Amino acid sequence: MTNDEQSSLNVPASLIRDVRRALYAFLDDAAKQVSATGRRPEHELHPEWFAAADDHLVRGFALLDELGHDDGPCDTEIMPEHGRTLLEVLDQVALLLTDWMAVHDDQDPEWNDHRDRYQLLLRVEAEVRRDATW
d(CA 29, CA 34): 9
Confidence of residue 71 (pLDDT cuts 50, 70, 90): low
Element (H, E) at 77: strand 76-78
Whether residue 47 is contained in a domain is answered as: yes
pLDDT surpassing 90 at residue 70: no
- Domain presence at residue 43: yes
Which domain range does residue 87 map to?
8-131
Would you say residue 2 lies in a domain? no
Report the domain count for the chain.
1
Residue 93: per-residue pLDDT = 95
Q: What is the mean pLDDT of residues 4-20?
A: 84
State the pTM of this model: 0.84
